[in-house]
Every structure is written in C-alpha cells, then in structure tokens.
Amino acid sequence: MTLWCAYFFRDPPRVTPVSGRLVVSPADGRVSRIANAVPPAELGLGEKPLPRVSIFMSVFDCHVNRSPVSGRVERMVYHPGKFLSADLDKASEDNERNAFIISGRVRVGVVQIAGLIARRIVPFVQEGQAVAAGDRIGMIRFGSRVDIYLPEGGKALVAEGQTALAGETVLADLSQIDAGRSFRVG
C-alpha cells in the first residue's frame, strides 16, 4: 500500500511548449470527451456553449494538475457536490469541483472535478496569482476529471481516447481565432 501511495502522489518533471497561444493539457489521462458545453455558472463565462475538452484521470495517472496557459488566476471558486463517477457527463454539474479562470494572452476555464473515489481537491494557487503554462495549480486525490473550456472558436487538436500528459500535450492552438478579422483605424 505504501508503494502504491508513493506511486500515486508522484510529480514528474514536464517540458512545456512555449507559446502564448497554445493551450496545454492540465491533467494526465485519457481525453474522454470533446464537445461544446455551457461552462459552470461560477466561472462567469456566460450561458453560451464553449468548446470543452474533458480529461479523465484513472487511479494510475499522475494527479498533479498544471496550468494550461500563462496568465493570472482571475477567479477560483470551490463548489461542494456529489461524488459520482468522473467519467459521466453529468459529473461536470453535480460533483464537487474547483473552478479556475486563467487570463493572459488567452482566457480559459479549468475545472477540477472529484470522482467516485476522489474525495479531496487541493489547490496550489490563489486568486490573483501569476502562473506560467505548465505550473502546478492543484491536485485531485484518486480517480477524477479535469475539464478545460476554450474561448469561442477554439478547436481541439486532440482526439477522444488520446492519452494526454499535463503540461506537455498541446490541446489547442488559439493563434487562428482572430486571424480572419480586419480592423479599420479611423
């Protein structure tokens, strides 16, 4: 049991790609769902569906979560809830969760969701704190899920079923979101 706990609480070093418009995975695990979904109300991102990438962490994955972008923790809200299986879609609404808005060159929502076995979400950062992409932002103990909400127009570069590594796997490149716009200076 001691060896398994040491394995579970591991925190391996990661090499994060450097770019202001890349979104890297906040969690190790399997990309379980990519869909448009309404973000949790506590994020304050509105009621319009946004692109969401869900990553399911089994008890064998590293559970240290990392910032997907560089910026400042604009908002951090804890929401008590149930402990349904984190692989279920309704876990996003019903389960205990900790939600972040991280704003920099891009603004994303990150939601740590406790699962059936997980009973503890531990944040490593505070509201107002600056973070770099790949910095440790928290941990969920045992099986759980992390959802990331991309800005409108963001497109995932990963596929459902793909394995992601926190701080290393590129989930999206948001450099093309505003590329088609023209501006008039007057």
Indicate if 19 belongs to the active site.
no
Q: What gap in Å lies between CA 66 and CA 73, rounded to an integer?
A: 12
Spatial contact of 82 and 94, defined as CB atoms under 8 Å apart: yes
Q: Which two tokens stand for residue 154?
A: 């963001």
**Active-site hit among 70, 144, 175, 182:** 144
Q: Which two tokens stand for residue 94?
A: 């019903």
The residue written with tokens 């349904």 in the block is: 84
Spatial contact of 86 and 54, defined as CB atoms under 8 Å apart: no
- In 3-state terms, what secondary structure has residue 150? coil
Q: Kindly report the CA angle at 11 between 83 and 97, in degrees rounded to 5?
A: 25
Which residues are tagged catalytic?
Answer: 144
